[in-house]
Amino acid sequence: MTAADDATSRLLALMARLRDPEGGCPWDREQNFATIAPYTIEEAYEVADAIARADLAALKDELGDLLFQVVFHAQMAAEQGAFTYADVAEAVIAKMTRRHPHVFGTADIRTAEAQTRAWEEAKAQERATKPGHTSILADVPLALPALTRAEKLTRRASRVGFDWKTPAKVLDKLREEVSEFAQTIENSDDHAAREDEFGDILFVLANYARLYGIDPEKALRSTNDKFVRRFQFIEQQLEKEGVPLADAGLERMDLLWNEAKTALARKDG
């Protein structure tokens, strides 16, 4: 038995013990797929955060936490007689083997771009064989961040020709949606209508980003981080001056914001 096999066996045994009806943990025993799902998503984000910080020690820990989520779901499924951890592993092995015919078969795929096309074709074929298949958009996960899901939905639709002919056309659409949103703000107090029009703006922006190879979620995260750095610069400067943040006033904070842009220009780009 390899070290990996031994560690996996002990992890599975630990999870089974935690869920044991007699001597397990009350909290773990009470959980179900729905209650654990938010933790699974959170752990995936923490993995991404460790990668963004280039913190390999943290990455090791976060990957362990994410693996524990997989084991948790598999244990609950096994208790229901649905599937086991081994079934999960076998399924992904079969899928990866099937989607890499140039590695495990005789297909001739020589570039990453060609592999991406082949991967998407394989996924399309798999979707077509699933029971109840009705739409090429059906399996774009609902739980994805909304901007990411918007980009994926438009990317999927574009593969069958439902796409803008030029980025300029998308920009025209964006102006149209901004105008409609402004009209809704001016002419109506209907919050749902305003929300709907604002959603249209975000959707078009995600589509526009896709055409330029920009990940909208990544771009917004980067801007969020930039905002935090600049605002913290304001806080630090005001602290040095002995001025409470709430008493500084917008004009002073705006001046410090511009100073932050200059001071942090090298980092922010």
* Residue 195, token pair as written in the block: 């929300």
Does 3-98 carry CATH code 3.40.50.720? no
pLDDT tens, position by position, 202-215: 999 999 999 999 99
Domain ranges of the chain: 3-98, 146-214, 217-268
* Residue 151, token pair as written in the block: 């980009």
Burial of residue 74 (CB within 10 Å: 0-12, 13-18, 19+) is: buried
Q: Which CATH number fits domain 146-214: 1.10.3720.10, 3.40.50.1100, 3.40.50.150, 1.10.287.1080?
A: 1.10.287.1080
pLDDT at 118 (0 to 100) = 75
User: Quick one: pLDDT band at residue 113, thresholds 50, 70, 90?
Assistant: confident
Do 3-98 and 146-214 agree at the fold level?
Answer: yes
pLDDT tens, position by position, 85-111: 999 999 999 999 988 888 888 888 888
**Phi, psi angles (nearest 5°) of residue 165:** -75, -35
